[in-house]
Copies of this chain bind each other. A is one copy, B any other.
Amino acid sequence: MLGLDPDPAALWPQAAPAAAATAGPVHAAAAAVRAHCAALIDAAAPACVAVKLQLARFEVLGSAGWSAMADVAEHARAAGLLVIADGKRGDIDVSARAYANALIDGAQTPFGRVPGLAADLVTVNPLMGTDAIEPFLTSARATGAGVLVLVRTSNAGASDVQDLRLQDGSAVWERIAELVNEMGAENVGAAGLSDVGAVVGATVPAHLARARELMPSAPFLLPGIGAQGGRVEDLAPAFLPGRAGGLLTASRSIAGAHLAGGGSPADAARTEAERLRDAAWALSAQAPAAR
């Protein structure tokens, strides 16, 4: 999966003409981000099943950034890719519903229908509990989309709260994993996968086997490959038989592949995306034996 995490200071050269055609820093940056993401999608799409939009990178460009994000999502869909909105939202019921409408299914208003981003999967933050996640599930189930709950993230600070030990000796993240499994149990599809998935960082392989044990039907989003230090080869325990159990995501290692290995940005990105795809498929093929 292609992570789209566009840093305005590290865009591909082919983004420059789009920026030059607009006025003002915000619109120029948004145009460049749009062009960069489109070129990256065109290069990597054949080796990917989805794009993951890091919402923060678009929001920093305000209204123009949000507009660029909607265009990038549309470009990805046109290339046959699923769209994952990585916003890690979480809020009380009415606010969670507004976020879910914003990212998934839109909303009816007295002024007519507003469309929303139409994402296929959204990341959500479970700190506020299941009632902060339910509105996302409602929107997802209305449109055939899915929800990916943060369970054990890939950053060093994840240990501050997620790894705290509860009275029974388990960690906070293991309890969150149980909640994910409970919420997803009511809707496991024919392929054995639920519509409630989990974000489990690829940087701590030791957690993956335990996470899979606690969430046997959850698709896993596995961030942290590449720039954050995770290795594809360590991820076997996260996979299920079949190819959809684990979704690898890499952002900077694909977009910046030419910086490490040379060549054109597009060629290098395609090669790196293909390498990750092949490695993931190899793991997936081994999965039944690995469990």
Q: How large is the interface on A (under 10, 10 to 19, 20 to 34, 35 or more residues)?
A: 35 or more
Q: Would you list which residues of chain A between 133 and 166 have a CB under 8 Å from chain B?
A: 150, 153-162, 164-166
Contact residues in B for A132 (Cβ distance below 8 Å) = 155, 157
In the assembled complex, how far is the CB of residue A232 from the closest CB belonging to chain B, in whole angstroms? 19
A198 within 8 A of B: no
Query: Is B102 touching A128 in the complex (CB atoms < 8 A)?
Result: no
Query: Is B62 touching A9 in the complex (CB atoms < 8 A)?
Result: no
Q: Would you list which residues of chain A between 72 and 90 have a CB under 8 Å from chain B?
A: 88-90
Contact residues in B for A26 (Cβ distance below 8 Å) = 111, 114-115
Query: Is B172 touching A156 in the complex (CB atoms < 8 A)?
Result: no
8 Å CB contact of A166 from B61, B65, B94, B167: B167
Query: Is A162 touching B64 in the complex (CB atoms < 8 A)?
Result: no
Tell me the bound Cα distance from A5 to B91 in angstroms: 12
Check A25/B164 contact, CB under 8 A, given A57-B98, A62-B67: no
| Proximity bits, A85-126, B CB within 8 Å = 1, else 0 | 000111111111011011100010111111111000000011
Query: Is B32 touching A111 in the complex (CB atoms < 8 A)?
Result: yes
A19 within 8 A of B: yes
Interface residues of A (CB under 8 A from B): 5, 7-9, 19, 24-26, 28-29, 32, 54, 56-57, 59-67, 70, 88-96, 98-99, 101-103, 107, 109-117, 125-132, 150, 153-162, 164-167, 169, 172, 175-176, 179, 228
